[in-house]
């Protein structure tokens, strides 16, 4: 029987949108494996990087990942996310490299940020660049999506960074068809974003479809929070509580998982994936707008950080 | 639910950004905080109207200059489809960016300002769409509100554009009169355009059939990576990982490895670790073969008895994408799917005027955004199809040997 006869039969051979996105991401993972000598996967413990790990399993099993997971640890993590990270790594049997921002601060005499929500978010860049240098990584896979933010909407799937880790939005390589040019000169490295074309809802729908496990803080739980400019911030040792702050106990969940200093919670009773997805569909605020304190600073906040070497 | 990838071609003046903003806004894909952010930036607000164009320009330089420089990708979903918009700049100095955006598009929206009709830019965008082989064209005749929703004006533009479409052999051309600013015929049929009998833009985008754009007749599988666990229990496991770019593969199929020409049989197909009887484009799979043969990244697995070209010399239509001019006789890396070979541009037949389609046989140099017909010779044989017949196996990029930047897009003839 040849292909033509098959097509005339009633068999449906088409992929739905999640299958298409999955296949595209797996293709990108395998391009990394085929093109780079020392790649790495940046793993934050959030849902996007957990999705990346799931996709990498599909791309490379029964083989090992051709890269280690790398966690740039700010020291301001949610404990649940760290525990989850360690369990996941043990379960899949892959290598994890952790480098701590606190060590970079000490070694390089960096200035700790001050203020109410003193975030080490910007300092992560130093640790990241040092780690790239330490292991000579020529490629770092990341979970950024283009729907997150306007500057990211312009970034290529294979995004070249210069010796200083900088992104130059005006000198991006044209990226045609599904052909990715990962050739680089010494000192440069490539950031690769396999889920560039996924939206937040696509990720959630995929997690639901594939029954991917997530840290518990993505689901409703009780937590002590303060309210700041309309956002709920978890009480922790990393933020300064002032006498004017009102600490309350609320049922919350996290829509993104970043540092405790710059990630806000949303009030929610959604305890299952089904319920979380339903809430995300109904939401009227963007993921970054609702949950990230750091992006509100300036219109070009992300563009500036990326130019400096940020993920 | 599937995905439609489309490109919007036009300049800011044609209302391109407003159109995208309108699609996102009316399909409720814009969130409150994003609206607040653009409301803050909207200058000279009239009657509380916000500037929808501000939703699309992502870089500081673009906002400052009020132009689109690079391709931005935007996403929205309706209950029927997920949409990926490649929002590309329209000016001639950004032709390479438009080509980049067009390379993955199922459909192109060509915007025409109803007051100006078919202009040079319309022809250029249509020529690029035809070069890249975009299968569906929507001609959106915009700013109908500024011509009193005149059916006559619309009809005349349709007649003019039909000529362009005929010359370029464009298929599946659909005309829709719209006003992006007012939302006429965007997500709902407009009461101002009752004489128009077709669908509104969004309904058309939701229903246009694109599944048949994927070629399921010619089976092509470029090997990306070889999976060899080399553990005790999987000692003999050897899987060829890649994405089927076209066609269907089944267990038991006789296949040929190109360009070596070695024949063997598919012994197993896996998707995400699960064995399947068959797989089709565009699935990412792992193929296992009956014989132990030397296959590596860049090899192409095709079904036996299929015709494709295997050659070291071929003609291409080439868009030059670098500020450094092209040098005849210079060597470049050529990347064709997962294969990377050294190549040289041997000969240039003509330069194509992308505004008029005129072939220029006398030219001084080939610079940024020029499109040429050239002959390329590669250091080792390449297994390819002509871009026209099988896009997925007929496109390649050229990479500068020292800067390593992507400098050219080739459509193999």
Query: Is pLDDT of A241 > 80?
Result: no
Band (pLDDT 50/70/90 cuts) for residue B307 is confident
CA angle A198, A23, B310 (to 5 degrees): 130
Do B102 and B22 share a structural domain?
A: yes
Q: How far apart are CA B330 and CA A305, in angstroms?
A: 38
- Which range, A145-149, A254-258, B15-19, B41-45, has the best average confidence (pLDDT)? A145-149
Distance from the A103 Cα atom to the nearest Cα atom in chain B, whole angstroms = 34
* Residue in chain A nearest B229 by alpha carbon: A63
Do B233 and B97 share a structural domain?
A: no
Question: Which residue in A31, A57, A58, A150 has the most chain B C-beta atoms within 10 A of its own C-beta, making it the best mutation to test that interface?
Answer: A150
The rounded mean pLDDT for chain B is 89
Q: Which residues from chain A sit within 8 angstroms of residue B96, using beta carbons?
A: 174
Across the interface, whether the CB atoms of B248 and A4 are under 8 A apart is answered no
Query: Is pLDDT of B183 > 80?
Result: yes
Contact between residue A133 and residue A189 where contact means Cβ atoms under 8 Å apart: no
Query: Is pLDDT of B95 > 90?
Result: no
CA dihedral (B299, B302, B304, B310) in degrees, to 10, reads -60
Do B75 and B189 share a structural domain?
A: yes
Distance from the B190 Cα atom to the nearest Cα atom in chain A, whole angstroms = 27
**What pLDDT, on the 0 to 100 scale, is given for residue B324?**
92
Across the interface, whether the CB atoms of B224 and A21 are under 8 A apart is answered no
Query: Is pLDDT of A295 > 60?
Result: no
Q: Show the tokens assigned to B280.
A: 């089709």
Query: Is pLDDT of A126 > 90?
Result: no
End position of a domain, from candidates B288, B303, B318? B303
Band (pLDDT 50/70/90 cuts) for residue A79 is confident
Distance from the A13 Cα atom to the nearest Cα atom in chain B, whole angstroms = 7
- SS3 state at B104: coil
Query: Is pLDDT of A8 > 50?
Result: no
Q: What is the pLDDT of residues B346-376, one digit of tens each?
A: 999 999 988 888 899 988 889 988 999 999 9
Query: Is pLDDT of B47 > 50?
Result: no
**What pLDDT, on the 0 to 100 scale, is given for residue B56?**
62
Q: List the beta bridge partners of residue B173.
A: B137
Query: Is pLDDT of B12 > 80?
Result: no
pLDDT > 70 in chain A, percent:
86
Band (pLDDT 50/70/90 cuts) for residue B181 is confident
Q: Which residues from chain B sit within 8 angstroms of residue A202, using beta carbons?
A: 82
pLDDT > 90 in chain B, percent:
65
End position of a domain, from candidates B195, B213, B231? B213
Q: Which domain holds residue B253?
A: 220-303
Q: Which residues from chain B sit within 8 angstroms of residue A7, using beta carbons?
A: 216-217
- Residue, of A32 and A79, whose pLDDT is higher: A32
Distance from the B339 Cα atom to the nearest Cα atom in chain A, whole angstroms = 10
Q: Which residues from chain A sit within 8 angstroms of residue B283, using beta carbons?
A: 15, 19, 23
Distance from the B47 Cα atom to the nearest Cα atom in chain A, whole angstroms = 24
The rounded mean pLDDT for chain A is 85
Contact between residue B180 and residue B53 where contact means Cβ atoms under 8 Å apart: no
**What pLDDT, on the 0 to 100 scale, is given for residue B48?**
46
**What pLDDT, on the 0 to 100 scale, is given for residue A1?**
39
Q: Averaged over A72-89, what is the pLDDT? A: 90
Query: Is pLDDT of A211 > 70?
Result: yes
Across the interface, whether the CB atoms of B2 and A17 are under 8 A apart is answered yes
Q: Averaged over A269-273, what is the pLDDT? A: 91
Do B200 and B224 share a structural domain?
A: no
Query: Which superfamily is assigned to A16-201+300-307 in CATH?
Result: HUPs (3.40.50.620)
Where does residue A37 fall: left (phi above 0), alpha (psi -120 to 50 degrees), or beta otherwise? alpha
Q: Which residues from chain A sit within 8 angstroms of residue B100, using beta carbons?
A: 174-176
**What pLDDT, on the 0 to 100 scale, is given for residue B194?**
95
- Residue, of A202 and B93, whose pLDDT is higher: A202
CATH 3.40.50.620: which residues of chain A?
16-201+300-307
Q: Which residues from chain B sit within 8 angstroms of residue A154, using beta carbons?
A: 58-59, 70-73
Query: Is pLDDT of A290 > 80?
Result: no
CA dihedral (A291, A297, A298, A300) in degrees, to 10, reads -60
Where does residue A117 fall: left (phi above 0), alpha (psi -120 to 50 degrees), or beta otherwise? beta
Do B189 and B134 share a structural domain?
A: yes
Q: How far apart are CA A110 and CA A98, in angstroms?
A: 19
Domain count for chain B, please give it. Answer: 3
CATH code, domain with B373? 2.40.30.10
Q: Which residues from chain A sit within 8 angstroms of residue B81, using beta carbons?
A: 17
Report ipTM for this prediction. Answer: 0.93
Do B236 and B155 share a structural domain?
A: no
Query: Is pLDDT of B311 > 60?
Result: yes
Query: Is pLDDT of B252 > 90?
Result: yes
Q: Averaged over A157-161, what is the pLDDT? A: 93
- Residue, of A158 and A123, whose pLDDT is higher: A158
Across the interface, whether the CB atoms of B406 and A176 are under 8 A apart is answered yes
CATH code, domain with B132? 3.40.50.300
Across the interface, whether the CB atoms of A169 and B103 are under 8 A apart is answered no
**What pLDDT, on the 0 to 100 scale, is given for residue A115?**
73
Q: How far apart are CA A218 and CA A205, in angstroms?
A: 14
Across the interface, whether the CB atoms of B217 and A178 are under 8 A apart is answered no
Distance from the B179 Cα atom to the nearest Cα atom in chain A, whole angstroms = 25
End position of a domain, from candidates B303, B327, B359? B303
Q: Which residues from chain A sit within 8 angstroms of residue B59, using beta carbons?
A: 150-151, 154, 169-170, 303
Cis ω for the linkage preceding B259 (within 30 of 0):
yes
Of B2, B33, B406, the CB nearest to A173: B406
- Residue, of A1 and A200, whose pLDDT is higher: A200
Q: Averaged over B314-339, what is the pLDDT? A: 93
**What pLDDT, on the 0 to 100 scale, is given for residue A5?**
44
Q: Which residues from chain B sit within 8 angstroms of residue A289, using beta carbons?
A: 31-34
Across the interface, whether the CB atoms of A33 and B225 are under 8 A apart is answered yes
Across the interface, whether the CB atoms of B395 and A151 are under 8 A apart is answered no
Query: Is pLDDT of B57 > 80?
Result: no
Band (pLDDT 50/70/90 cuts) for residue A7 is very low
Beta strands in B296-369 (DSSP E): 300-303, 309-320, 331-336, 339-352, 359-360
pLDDT > 70 in chain B, percent:
90
Q: Averaged over B18-38, what is the pLDDT? A: 76
């Amino acid at each position: 029987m040849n292909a033509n006869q098959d097509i005339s039969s009633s068999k449906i051979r088409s992929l739905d949108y999640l299958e298409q996105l999955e296949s595209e991401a797996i293709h990108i993972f395998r391009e990394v494996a085929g093109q780079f000598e020392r790649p790495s996967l940046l793993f934050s413990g959030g849902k996007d990087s957990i999705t990346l790990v799931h996709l990498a399993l599909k791309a490379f099993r029964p083989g090992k990942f051709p890269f280690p997971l790398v966690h740039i640890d700010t020291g301001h993590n949610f404990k649940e996310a760290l525990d989850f990270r360690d369990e996941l790594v043990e379960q899949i049997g892959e290598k994890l490299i952790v480098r701590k921002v606190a060590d970079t601060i000490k070694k390089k005499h960096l200035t700790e940020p001050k203020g109410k929500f003193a975030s080490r978010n910007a300092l992560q860049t130093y640790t990241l660049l040092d780690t790239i240098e330490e292991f000579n990584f020529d490629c770092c896979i990341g979970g950024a999506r283009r729907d997150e933010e306007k500057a990211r909407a312009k970034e290529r799937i294979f995004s070249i960074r210069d010796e200083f880790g900088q992104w130059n939005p005006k000198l991006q390589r044209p990226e045609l068809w599904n052909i990715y040019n990962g050739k680089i000169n010494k000192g440069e490295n490539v950031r690769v974003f396999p889920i560039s074309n996924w939206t937040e809802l696509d990720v959630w729908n995929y997690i639901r479809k594939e029954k991917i496990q997530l840290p518990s803080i993505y689901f409703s739980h009780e937590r002590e929070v303060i309210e700041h400019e309309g956002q709920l911030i978890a009480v922790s040792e990393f933020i300064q509580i002032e006498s004017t702050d009102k600490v309350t106990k609320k049922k919350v969940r996290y829509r993104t998982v970043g540092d405790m200093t710059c990630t806000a919670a949303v009030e929610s009773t959604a305890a299952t994936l089904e319920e979380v997805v339903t809430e995300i569909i109904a939401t009227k605020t963007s993921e970054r707008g609702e949950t990230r304190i750091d992006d509100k600073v300036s219109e070009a906040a992300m563009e500036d950080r990326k130019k400096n070497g940020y993920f | 639910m599937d995905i439609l990838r489309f490109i919007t071609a036009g300049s800011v003046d044609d209302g391109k950004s407003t159109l995208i903003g309108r699609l996102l806004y009316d399909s409720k894909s814009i969130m409150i905080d994003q609206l607040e952010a653009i409301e803050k930036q909207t200058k000279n607000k009239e009657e509380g109207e916000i500037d929808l164009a501000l939703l699309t320009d992502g870089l500081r330089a673009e906002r400052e200059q009020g132009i689109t420089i690079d391709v931005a990708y935007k996403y929205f979903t309706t209950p029927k489809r997920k949409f990926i918009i490649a929002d590309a700049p329209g000016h001639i100095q950004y032709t390479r960016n438009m080509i980049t955006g067009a390379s993955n598009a199922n459909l192109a929206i060509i915007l025409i300002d109803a007051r100006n009709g078919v202009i040079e830019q319309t022809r250029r965008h249509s020529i690029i769409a035809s070069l890249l082989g975009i299968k569906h064209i929507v001609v959106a005749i915009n700013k109908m509100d500024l011509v009193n929703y005149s059916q006559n004006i619309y009809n005349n533009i349709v007649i003019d554009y039909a000529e362009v479409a005929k010359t370029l052999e464009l298929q599946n051309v659909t005309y829709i009169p719209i006003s992006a600013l007012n939302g006429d015929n965007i997500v709902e049929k407009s009461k101002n355009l009752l004489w128009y009998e077709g669908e509104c833009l969004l309904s058309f985008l939701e229903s246009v059939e694109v599944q048949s754009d994927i070629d399921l007749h010619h089976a092509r599988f470029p090997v990306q990576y070889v999976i060899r666990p080399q553990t005790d229990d999987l000692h003999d496991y050897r899987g060829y990982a890649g994405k089927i770019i076209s066609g269907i593969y089944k267990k038991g199929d006789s296949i040929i490895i190109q360009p070596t020409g070695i024949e063997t049989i598919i012994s197993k197909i896996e998707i995400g670790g699960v064995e399947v009887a068959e797989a089709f484009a565009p699935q990412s799979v792992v193929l296992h073969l009956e014989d132990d043969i030397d296959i590596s990244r860049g090899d192409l697995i095709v079904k036996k008895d299929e015709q494709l070209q295997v050659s070291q010399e071929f003609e291409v239509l080439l868009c030059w994408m670098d500020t450094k001019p092209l040098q005849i006789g210079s060597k470049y890396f050529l990347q064709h799917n997962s294969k990377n070979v050294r190549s040289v541009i041997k000969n240039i037949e003509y330069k194509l005027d992308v505004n008029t389609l005129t072939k220029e046989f006398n030219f001084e140099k080939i610079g940024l955004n020029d499109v040429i017909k050239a002959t390329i010779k590669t250091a080792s044989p390449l297994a390819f199809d002509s871009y026209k017949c099988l896009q997925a196996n007929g496109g390649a990029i050229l990479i500068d040997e020292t800067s390593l930047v992507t400098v050219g897009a080739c459509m193999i003839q």
